Chain A
């Protein structure tokens, strides 16, 4: 069944929404807006009835995989169940119908929620203070590195470089560059871990910080983290921990105890807020006391029997958002954490690690594990067990789609050949894990007996493999209004250039 673009549906003059009544007197006075600043129309916007809109988006939704319908063993993404109770909480009128700039006396519930959430995140991370404003992990990284920079500048020495392992997520170097730092790559050992002996030679008075993901992107716990942190501190640098893999640690181990000065947490990973097809998420940042003065604005501060939102702090790095953060997402994470409680959070982590280790056992027969050490909440396999068939990791990923399962994270980390990074999370049942292992076994068998079938997968999805080269060479990034030709057939022509009407 085909579903055209929304612009290709409907008819001129059709409208889907009935507007609020205009109950004002006809003449309300007031200034005219200059004609040059008044729009001459919104040509091109869709004109549909409500039913047409409902059908269009309902149909589109049916073309998606989602956690609600499919298993997503995506390493480092922590695609766990997004509880429906969170959605209920976020939609309470008390949470949606409140303005961010209202006087604090009108939003004490929201401020209390934010304060309590900060407390829970501080407890999980073992840190002293939290900001909930960053919109995502990447923005959290930017805020964290910016604070590090601010601290160094306060001491009169901004420093120049940030040490980052080669296996790190791309946002790490991008965030550092955004803060004006040069990136120095730290080699990973043959065992997949960071070693003090590899870090020490890189430590000089120019190093502002080291960014470490723990467990790292191979799913392995960085055993030497305390020693490395101590060495970096000894050289006057700070330690940033990327909390993307917190689902392996929450309730069992705390980054604050590992020497972290600052870390970000991805609420849309560890704390169950929905991915939404790409966002919104939230990336709170937790810091030790030493960085607290630099936290972005605004801050939630207790006092006078309630809470206040404070938007002045002399050393703060300033604002990164229009308002205080993705409140609707924070409500979801709060609801999740409150519902689980301390015991539930520990159980969450234990079962995430249990599931990953069980799945690893089931898969090890057919796939080659990248590093022999026990894994935590995710494990990484290479393409070595099937490379000889000519089938690539990408092909295996695409064939999984035919079986109704989303592919794992592939080709990351870059240090593993044809990497498949698999993270089941704690909300999947044993049957689902067995099912995935069986399917993967079947695909590996196909790779040997009928490789073409795998190489040309997927076969049964809504669309098959898409021409990404064409999309990049001749980008078509929007629909353009059609201009009817003289004989009534509609032609596609480019939208009028700016300056024309």
Chain B
């Protein structure tokens, strides 16, 4: 395929205007030893029909028709047709970053609407124009919390073991180099919630008090086990120690049902937005939400859109407070982030606008019901709840031969959930099962039947 418009006549005329004989002459400033003698080691281009055939063939080797009950950070949900139709409009998709605001009011107003929606969902006073995804948003939130504590902050950042393993790993990659700051993993209790009590093995208080003050506590909400953490208790515990609280919500639909973190006095709330209007798409692109208290504004990473007026007094929107960002502060920036996931944020905005507050709440309730029905049905197939804590639309179940049965079901075209042994060796007899609005009652019944019969195979 060739997207260049040049005819031979064009090329000749342009070369003549420049004053050179051949295109190769234009590359003279590249030393000869660095100019490739022959072409790239990549096969020649394809016509559109051939390209389509190749790409479609690859896509068909992905078993998208699989009946899947897997969540764990990426969630299948019903997405109204209008979402992609609007978000994929080329005026949005092929627009540049809105550095010339006069000709970017579409993008800018949409992002302002996203920031507003993000704030409402997270319950925070403000939210930024988005981050790459839930994990990097959480990592940036930890860095932000440390900035707020000050350059001389020394102590521990407590990260719940019940937080998604990839989010924990990402926080470690971003924050393990900081002088005087150590990341400490805190275990979970029988409820599947972070163990902040005295004496619990791996708890925050088991003799580690002398290792330095607690600067920040990071928990999932819901956490990786699907369990809804007791945020009021966590916030009270943190406040008593002068620590900041960061939450990570990877299933954003949960915010349609749960009290938002901001309303529970959480300092920085983050989330993954994929579950609100984006397909799973093998894990990306998604969109990270990050919200915080207004007084933390100057420590906020990422882009921000603000409202203002033009010279004629007309309302308009601009990128603002850019002095926090890399292109001005360079090495003293709050982050190195140079983009937001604008188009994904737009899809979330459209989706939430279509559902509205009632729709979102109803859909969230439906999800919770689907999960409870699934847990009950699977209970009849030999799987019992591992934890006692309340869950949203995912639950950890325990039973005999979990890995073997799960494997057999995969061969039959069903992914029954996520066996946890790979991430939590102590939970190697457990399965994380997710049920959402895309699962019909018959699908869930089929899962339970298949699981029951997989034991006899």
Contact = CB atoms under 8 A, between A and B. Distances in A.
Is A in direct contact with B (CB under 8 Å) within the complex?
A: yes
A171 B169 CA distance: 23
A89 interface: yes
Interface stretch (A196-204, A233-241, A385-393, A458-466): A458-466
B104 A102 contact: no
Contact of A464 (B39, B310, B328): B310
B395 to A, nearest CB: 9
Interface stretch (B154-162, B301-309, B447-455): B301-309
A163 interface: no
A171 B326 contact: yes
B366 A22 contact: yes
Contact of B349 (A6, A254, A324, A358): A6
Contacts of B31: 223, 226
Given A82-B94, A478-B127, A463 B336 contact: no
A98 B66 CA distance: 9
B120 A44 contact: yes
A99 B282 contact: yes
Contact of B357 (A37, A41, A97, A251): A41
Contact of A463 (B316, B335, B371, B441): B316
Contacts of B326: 138, 170-171, 173-174
Interface string A383-419: 0000000000000011001000011000010000000
Contacts of B415: 99, 102-103, 106
Interface in B201-244: 228, 230-232
Interface residues of A, number: 209
A395 to B, nearest CB: 13
B456 interface: no
Interface stretch (A425-433, A442-450, A483-491): A425-433
A39 B82 contact: no
Interface in A153-179: 169-171, 173-179
Q: State the main secondary structure of chain A at its contact with B.
A: loop
B2 A347 contact: yes
B106 A61 contact: yes
A340 B228 contact: no
Contacts of B232: 36-37
A404 B399 CA distance: 65
Contacts of B177: 149, 179-180
Given A30-B372, A321-B284, A39 B170 contact: no
A342 interface: yes
Contact of B120 (A19, A42, A93): A42
Nearest to A122: B41
Given A253-B30, A429-B5, A82 B45 contact: no
Contacts, number: 707
A295 interface: no
A15 B91 CA distance: 26
A5 B51 CA distance: 42
B405 interface: no
A89 B58 CA distance: 10
Given A95-B59, A280-B343, A465 B281 contact: no
B344 A280 contact: yes
Contacts of B107: 64, 277-278
Contacts of B73: 100-101, 322-323
A180 B363 CA distance: 45
B343 A340 contact: no
Given A28-B369, A340-B1, A463-B101, A46 B353 contact: yes
B308 to A, nearest CB: 4
Interface in B421-443: 437-438, 440-441
Interface centre among B18, B115, B305 (most CB of A within 10 A): B18
B125 A498 contact: yes
Given A80-B3, A277-B346, A461-B102, A108 B45 contact: no
Contacts of B133: 135, 321-323
Interface centre among A44, A177, A341, A498 (most CB of B within 10 A): A498
B349 to A, nearest CB: 7
Given A347-B4, A498-B125, A464 B102 contact: yes
A331 to B, nearest CB: 8
Contact of A22 (B40, B170, B312, B369): B369
A61 B92 contact: yes
Nearest to B105: A63
B61 A94 contact: yes
A183 B73 CA distance: 37
Interface string A104-117: 01111110110000
B143 to A, nearest CB: 8
A270 interface: no
Contacts of A272: 3
B104 A41 contact: no
B48 A66 contact: no
Contact of B305 (A79, A103, A281, A477): A477
Contacts of A98: 62-64, 280-282
A134 to B, nearest CB: 9
Interface in A13-63: 13-17, 19-20, 22-25, 28-34, 36-48, 50, 53-54, 56-58, 60-63
Number of chain B interface residues as a range: 35 or more
A107 B282 contact: yes
Contact of B43 (A325, A342, A351, A466): A342
Given A42-B256, A63-B105, A64-B103, A339 B355 contact: no
Interface in A342-377: 342-348, 350-351, 353-355, 357-358, 361-362, 373-374, 376
Contacts of A326: 284-285
Contacts of B400: none
Nearest to A60: B106
A60 B340 contact: no
Given A374-B28, A466-B310, A321 B61 contact: no
Given A42-B357, A58-B86, A278 B303 contact: yes
Nearest to B14: A358
B311 interface: yes
A72 interface: yes
Nearest to A23: B441
Nearest to B50: A339
Given A23-B441, A135-B132, A322-B73, A276 B92 contact: yes
Contacts of A62: 91, 106
A340 B2 contact: yes
Interface centre among A13, A28, A105 (most CB of B within 10 A): A28
Contacts of B14: 354-355, 357-358, 430
Contact of A354 (B26, B51, B60, B327): B26
B29 A101 contact: no
A57 B107 CA distance: 10
Contacts of A320: 135-136, 139, 170, 173-174
Given A77-B96, A322-B164, A478-B119, A354 B23 contact: yes
A60 B125 contact: no
B427 to A, nearest CB: 16
A109 B29 contact: no
A3 B264 CA distance: 34
A173 B51 CA distance: 40
B153 interface: no
Contacts of B132: 135-136, 139, 279-280, 321
B170 A37 contact: no
A276 B40 contact: no
- Top 3 nearest A-B pairs (CB, nearest first) are A323-B283, A341-B45, A30-B372
Given A327-B283, A376-B29, 8 more contacts: A17-B80, A24-B369, A45-B353, A61-B89, A320-B136, A428-B5, A466-B318, A478-B119
19 contacts: A42-B357, A43-B357, A58-B89, A97-B76, A103-B415, A112-B58, A136-B337, A170-B327, A174-B336, A280-B285, A297-B169, A323-B284, A345-B42, A358-B17, A406-B100, A430-B5, A458-B102, A472-B320, A498-B265
